[in-house]
Amino acid sequence: MLKVAIVILNWNGRKYLEKFLPSVVNYSDPDISGIFVADNSSEDDSLEFLSENYPDIKQILLKKNYGFAEGYNRALDQIEADYFLLLNSDIEVTENWLHAMIEVMDSSPLIAGVSPKILAYDSKEFFEHAGAGGGFIDKYGYAFCRGRIFDTVENDYGQYNKSIDVFWTTGACMMVRSGLFKLTGGFDADFFAHFEEIDYCWRLKNRGYRFVFTANSHVFHVGGGTLHSSNPWKTYLNYRNNLSCMYKNLPPDILSKTVFIRLVLDGISSLRFLWKFKFGDFFAVIKAHFHFYSAIPRLRKFRASELQFVNRKFHKEMYPGNLVKEYFISKKISFSALKWSPERN
């Protein structure tokens, strides 16, 4: 059986496969890893390109565009390996990227996942939004990273080169234990895309597992290759899935209060979109809220099945403050400005 299955989920991404597959092939060890491309029913010539230029790369053909979450669930269900490495098609990998992550995973059975440093492909001296120097979350469910808070990304000058435990690892490039992925049902398919990896990490952290950022591996990410940040559909997914993630995973004693405060903050955020004449995003937030309310019966059933795990206390990798207040009012726009470290909690 393979040590690592590198799985790239593709949807109309021929230009990214052509540009970035060479680095994956060149810097992956064929003795321990295999490369798979799972195709979400692309309408471009991705498959023809793969067949002509990379006949040794295994193709997994999905019947329709299942999105990131269910697309990976269906693809990984067909693969056997010790570790799955989920990799976006718009990522350039570097020498030793793979072995550094394997080393982390091999170091402890309690480590459920690991991600490398994520840098911007077009501005390589900067962190990239999706993962940066390791992912965290505040007490109201706002995700952030060492090197990126909201839309502000930092220049990388080695300030976050320490490998540490994190709250979440990025779906852009994350290695996970195949057994745990299949045991827990993988990603929540209802999320479609966005925040599914944070939900996955949170569920496993509630079970006592760890997620790690390693600075000994780094990759370069284009970002927004499939869905640009300015797209209201992305706004909808982020707001809806964020609320669902919180409802599924927060301890019972703080669930109602925390979700209520988050709903209020989302309302303020929607007014900010309105003030900026971003009407599509404004209505996307409203739509996300109504769809979240309609999903509560399903989410409640999930909580009931996981109650023995969601009773766990506040995770030390969860920032105890209000990130919105820190960023927009106190103007703390960098991770170091928060003067907080999960290692001190």
pLDDT in tens, 108-137: 999 999 999 999 999 999 999 999 999 999
Region 2-28: what's the mean pLDDT?
Answer: 97
Answer whether residue 154 shows pLDDT above 80: yes
Answer whether residue 225 shows pLDDT above 60: no
- Beta-carbon count within 10 A of 91 CB: 25
Answer whether residue 53 shows pLDDT above 60: yes
Q: How confident is the model at residue 83 (pLDDT cuts 50, 70, 90)?
A: very high
Two tokens at 189?
Answer: 């398919």
Could you tell me which of 112, 143, 114, 113 has the C-alpha nearest to residue 129?
143
pLDDT digits (tens, 9 = 90+) for 285-333: 999 999 999 999 999 999 988 878 876 667 999 999 999 999 999 999 9
pLDDT digits (tens, 9 = 90+) for 178-219: 999 999 999 999 999 999 999 999 999 999 999 999 999 999
**2-221 topology per CATH:** Spore Coat Polysaccharide Biosynthesis Protein SpsA; Chain A (3.90.550)
- C-alpha 248/C-alpha 205 separation (Å) is 13
242 Cβ neighbours under 8 A, 6+ residues apart = 141, 143, 195, 262
Q: How confident is the model at residue 149 (pLDDT cuts 50, 70, 90)?
A: very high
Dump strand ranges (E) for the chain: 2-10, 33-39, 58-61, 81-87, 91-92, 111-120, 135-138, 143-145, 148-149, 152-153, 164-166, 173-177, 210-221, 318-319
When mean pLDDT is compared across 19-28, 142-151, 228-237, 304-313, the lowest value belongs to 304-313
Which pLDDT belongs to residue 312?
66
Q: Are strands 164-166 and 210-221 parallel, antiparallel or unpaired?
A: antiparallel
Domains of the chain: which residue ranges? 2-221, 232-312
- C-alpha 107/C-alpha 294 separation (Å) is 42
Its pTM surpasses 0.85? yes
When mean pLDDT is compared across 95-99, 202-206, 221-225, 290-294, the lowest value belongs to 221-225
Which pLDDT belongs to residue 298?
96
Mean confidence (pLDDT) of the chain = 95
Answer whether residue 99 shows pLDDT above 70: yes
Which pLDDT belongs to residue 180?
98
- HSE-CB for 28 with a 13 A CA cutoff: 24
